[in-house]
A and B are shown apart, each in its own frame.
Chain A
């Protein structure tokens, strides 16, 4: 049984949604931590949910990345623990320096909320994807203002060579298949030990039949199993 923790910051607004989805998959309620907390039990998987931590009035995730609880998350990472950051959680992980690159304002300068088609890249370098099929396509929605992934050429080369690009927006032929202008269509990256994943799309929003698809359920199930 995977022991999951979910961290809430002021302005997190997808914490309940990911808790519901994890509970749906594992049958157990994840442990919830408030950003002010200074200690954390041992967990197999720590999830940083989506939202607008601290209103995102500064750079997204910048203040949350300096919250007391992040010292605990950092320790968990150093111990080789699994971490999933979704949307604002991804932004927090890049701001904390746990994941490479940064997330800039969407190219079209507008919030975007819709389904996107993603390609999974499952290699030896990203253990967190567990039993996911390499090259599988997933339809999962995005909802963000700042999802335009960017990394400098050296970083980009490094994460490409080390196969840390776990998710890309699939070129379906539609003009706007990439919803935010992310470089190399990057939708999600892993840490160099392959155990931390940050992704802009929201798997918890395709986790039940009423969501009109179960691709998020597939991805979350694989991640939870990988972390057990």
Chain B
């Protein structure tokens, strides 16, 4: 067999997203000029998406270990011990650019891809979450994108039958031309039955399972690693097409295969498809691999080796089988009517060798592909520390109820019901707490244990102060998990930023990673998986940075879990944690500042005190475990009064504020000071004793009533029904409005 003798050029390399220096580096490592297929493989493996070349230096600083960690970053997903011999397997991943070009398919395949990352490890997915960012409400593309993305997220998750139970949706002008679609999946497996990707066993068969390979998504990983321009709207062919039925069948067949003692290692073909799966599996095992491309099931005739290797067709997996398992595996895939083909074997050459029509079409040493990708220490401008806005100029003269209504009806706080009612939240019949509260909670099937899950990021804080903003994202996720009664266990992150070659953007990345690392260390929620999405810029305009945090926690008995809804009257409502000095809260960069004052400025966000977060979290878990509280809600966007309103609206009750008028300032009501919760209790004495025992400041602020109203003062009363009307109106009204 002889090697094809076509030579590539630096221009071709540039078209694939590789710099001239990187092309030189490849030629030096190979000792020759790569052919087109080889260059394509290098460009995918050395893309930011696969190699983390701009971010790796900083990602290495994140805490990734702990007693609870079974597998940290580096596998398809992170694996965490949740007790009783069970493990949670989870990861978040972005599908930003494809979703902007083709919102339904982009979002749907984002969900499909993250599900494969989880079931590849032998885990049955049990929960889906997302983090979505769209442009301004009145931007001409926003409604089209919201509609397509939401139906795509639902379209895949609903069909495959995994509940979508958590997420967040935000609107901001910086996403007008570059939306964010991050999807997270959580699965469950036996801790001693986790499947990894490292190939082993000289001569073991390499099999291809799932859907056929087509020309969709070629070079998607490279697209995900470049800036965007208006012309890119014509890149529709690089968006993959999802088939959730195929995904469902592949999931069931793969789990059945993994239960049949046939599999040595397994990896899904996600970004960079057959390239990344074959390269990563063989290099992780210190082996090599030979693949006969003529055996790959293809959807279209005449596909070149380059196209087959770079296709990102969905619902495919690569598996190394035990030597005697081929027949057993074939029978499983026949049952599920899925393609199954032996396409190669494991070698010990340290090379990936591809053949087609009896000719070698690529022969690449694995080491440089995986280990010699450049690692850049990109120059960065440390972000300046912003000052808080002048508190006195922020506070407005208006009734609290008027301000509350405006805020609850704003894009920051309005109900996302229009979104989450398009997601099946109940399939699998283990949902304990669904969307609309803090974290969601699913039962570990067949046990009393529960898994709490959330995604969080307040990007306006991160834009102002990446370090504090990223800490806040971790702290808020920690509080959301805690508010259900669960103990936070571990984190996955999705770093959405602009072009890292710009020092200001690199500064955001460095600041955010440092803040995230500090918070994850202090709160003992190590980062076990994650994804980096850089170059989120269109025509040179970067997005507001969004280091999205996905977090999971565990509760030993779901009977101890609580939600946000206050359903009983006569309960005392307490605030856990003190509002800033002199009872006048942190309004700088708050929803109040943006909505009521229209002060749209990246002022300093509220500082995070990690020791206090941990202490308050411990108290909340004590209160829930002792059944001393009937409802818990963390205080975040909008402040304490918004949190109270959400609790009584959810439970169809009301509350009388018991603070004196001079205590009840706008700063107190709407300040966004961190580390705080509201709790409702029928046993104030026991609650106060517990708080004293934990050394936590608490204050009684209200008593609940059955009048369906919030009484803020003698003459300041608002009905829950009116408030709910405002809260529920905004998003449906936006989606039903006529195009401009």
Query: Which A residues form the contact surface with B (CB < 8 A)?
Result: 10-11, 13-14, 16-17, 20-21, 34, 50-52, 54-57, 110-114, 141, 143, 145, 202, 204-205, 207-208, 210-211
Contacts and interface: CB of A to CB of B under 8 A. Distances in A.
B248 A110 contact: no
Q: Which 5 residue pairs of A and B lie closest in terms of their CB atoms, listed nearest first?
A: A13-B161, A55-B245, A17-B429, A52-B159, A205-B426
A204 B428 CA distance: 10
B424 A111 contact: yes
A111 B158 contact: yes
Interface in B403-439: 420-432
Contacts of B445: 20
16 contacts: A11-B159, A11-B249, A13-B427, A34-B335, A55-B159, A56-B159, A57-B245, A113-B426, A143-B424, A145-B158, A204-B429, A207-B429, A208-B429, A210-B430, A210-B443, A211-B431
A143 B428 contact: no
B99 to A, nearest CB: 18
Given A14-B427, A110-B151, A143-B427, A54 B245 contact: yes
A167 B347 CA distance: 63
A49 to B, nearest CB: 10
Nearest to B338: A10
Given A10-B245, A20-B429, A205-B429, A111 B161 contact: no
B125 to A, nearest CB: 12
Interface in B608-635: none
B564 interface: no
A117 to B, nearest CB: 15
B151 A111 contact: yes
B273 interface: no
Contacts of A207: 429
Interface residues of B, number: 32
B158 A143 contact: yes
B694 interface: no
B424 A113 contact: yes
B219 to A, nearest CB: 28
A57 B80 CA distance: 37
B126 to A, nearest CB: 11
Given A110-B422, A111-B158, A111-B422, A10 B249 contact: yes
Contacts of A50: 427
A143 B426 contact: yes
Given A112-B422, A113-B420, A113-B423, 17 more contacts: A10-B337, A13-B160, A13-B427, A14-B161, A17-B427, A20-B429, A20-B445, A52-B244, A54-B245, A55-B245, A110-B151, A111-B422, A113-B158, A113-B426, A143-B158, A205-B429, A211-B426
Interface of B: 151, 154-155, 158-161, 243-246, 248-249, 335-337, 420-432, 443, 445, 558
A10 B426 contact: no
A113 B159 contact: no
A138 to B, nearest CB: 15
Contacts of A34: 335
Contact of B248 (A13, A57, A112): A13
A176 B248 CA distance: 32
Contacts of B420: 113
A110 B104 CA distance: 13
A210 B154 contact: no
A210 B558 CA distance: 8
A11 B161 CA distance: 8
Contacts of B245: 10-11, 52, 54-55, 57
A51 B161 contact: yes
Nearest to A141: B426
B218 to A, nearest CB: 24
Contacts of A21: 429
A182 B140 CA distance: 33
A55 B422 contact: no
A54 B249 CA distance: 10
A99 B335 CA distance: 30
Contacts of B246: 55
A88 to B, nearest CB: 10
